[in-house]
Structure 1
């Protein structure tokens, strides 16, 4: 198998001719370390790492700790080696971090290992600031790996070992993982099963998109318009256990999570924020 090494900083000369189309594109490789697994609950991002690559060369990096404004569980620290002490002097995922992240991404193709996990966290953090995270395209290297190596384990560490990728630092730290991911991705797209696919085909087959069409199908027009105008809505909402709640809320922003669209809302009566799944809404009308 071909061996690539991110540390060379210039990847242009290390690929076969089959990879030429992929080399010419702009990608943002990224990884988030988090407090847990559930962005729609109380889990938060605690570390960001992003690497932008254009024409096979690294053109920019973005890395920072994030204060989650909650304690980091011991189980999470055992995996990512990030402690409460390490993040306490950093900002939370504030508006400035949102802007820096979006400016870094722009219209690049996003690449992550198990990308639905990271994208769900990013969408939720942005929604908390009223920012709609849409019109993005992502590639999931885990999906590609499962297709190329269906009978093998395909965690990032497994792929690093399989491709004999050099690594500096501890895995499960965001930038270390992201640097390894760059090499993993370009090895994967050079595999015989993948090399003849265009980026559009790879996204369609092994990725996710935050496309407006799917958002419009998932979120009713009255909710989308209320989101734009900060309009109060009233509705019946069916909970998971079948109870019907009377909601009085303002839709704040859409939230993409695990290939579904949710809406981050503000409860007018309690001023508390939470998410809803629009399929459970009924009798929606404009409130006062």
Structure 2
């Protein structure tokens, strides 16, 4: 298991992140206008990363009204491609934390992969934890409502750093409670309670991998796979033909004989970090 996941919760390193954006969907051309991050070691704050971001487009009026970020504030700000490297350096060797992780990851991961194609982090989601373990305590799981219930004051809601501060306090409250109720001790235990790391959007699709698998089967050549498990571990496996690729539910998988495990194994494609190589 990764050293990061074996860390006691009192020493575990988390980077809590929030984005403000011009809209909801990056595939519709919406962009990041602010990024905020706070790094924790256990319950102690050890660093901050915050910056306005030039989206190279007009900020809609309703977004300006909600965030109080106007066009003049971002015109001289760096674009996200200039900030993503320093942000990834800041977050290195930590578990990323979001409130509603899929939203932020939909904006962040494509930019991260442009900078580093095989980037991968373990990801916690305080919204997911709230839905699983705090149903009665917080009837509404919105960040502001949870914060209000816990007497956490958000000075400027819908500004990245203020929301990050609130999310950090909520995370620490959840950890304290779950340590008592669920007897968790390590960062890995916390990820396991969540049901595993929130997956990054897959780097590869079935369509991407089919030609490689076809060649591996045709020439009876094993494939070397580097992937992250649902529990967050990094593994390298050699998969021998015949290798099959298929879909089950919402997940694409591949399966074949795994040398290391001594039997047939299945691998979720969204866990693959690098393009498989002929071994």
Alpha-carbon deviations, 1:157-216, whole Å to 9, x = none?
A: 11111111244x2111000000111110111122258642343243245341349xx655
SS of residue matched to 2:148? helix
1:171 aligns with 2:161: no
Show the 5 A alignment for 1:34-183: 34-94=21-81, 96-127=82-113, 129=114, 131-132=116-117, 134-150=119-135, 152-167=139-154, 169-183=155-169
What is the rounded CA distance, in whole Å, between the counterparts of 1:209 and 1:203 in structure 2?
12
Any idea what SS the aligned residue of 2:144 has?
helix
Instruction: Check the 8 A contact 2:54/2:76 in 1, yes or no.
Output: yes
Partner residue in 2 for 1:244: none
Match of 1:31 among 6, 9, 18: 18
In 2, Cα distance between equivalents of 1:115 and 1:156: 12
Structure 1 residue 221: Cα displacement: 3.1
Long gaps (5+) in structure 2: 1-6, 214-249, 253-268, 270-279
Partner of 2:188: 200
Are the aligned partners of 1:26 and 1:108 in contact in 2 as well (CA < 8 Å)? yes
Q: In 2, are the aligned partners of 1:123 and 1:133 still within 8 Å (CA)?
A: no
Deviations 1:227-262 (A, max 9, x none): xxxxxxxxxxxxxxxxxxxxxxxxxxxxxxxx989x
1:46–1:66 CA contact under 8 A, matched in 2: yes
Moved over 6 A (4+): 222-225
1:268-283 alignment, distance < 5 Å: none
TM-score, length basis structure 1: 0.63
Distance 1:120 1:138 in 2: 13
In the alignment, structure 1 segments of 5+ residues that lack a partner are 1-19, 226-258, 262-277, 279-288
| SS of corresponding position for 1:82 | coil
TM-score normalised per structure 2: 0.65
- 169-178 vs 216-225, which deviates more? 216-225
Q: In structure 2, the residue corresponding to 1:31 is in which secondary structure?
A: strand
CA shift in 2, pair 1:130/1:222, >3 Å: farther
C-alpha deviation, 1:136, in angstroms: 0.9
Shift of 1:56: 2.3
Deviations 1:30-60, CA, capped at 9 Å, x for gaps? 1000001111220111001011111321111
The answer on 1:209 being equivalent to 2:222 is: no
Root-mean-square deviation over aligned CA pairs: 2.9
- The 1-side partners of 2:212 and 2:67 are apart by 38
How does 1:198-277 map onto structure 2 within 5 Å?
A: 198-206=186-194, 207-210=197-200, 215=203, 218=206, 220-221=208-209
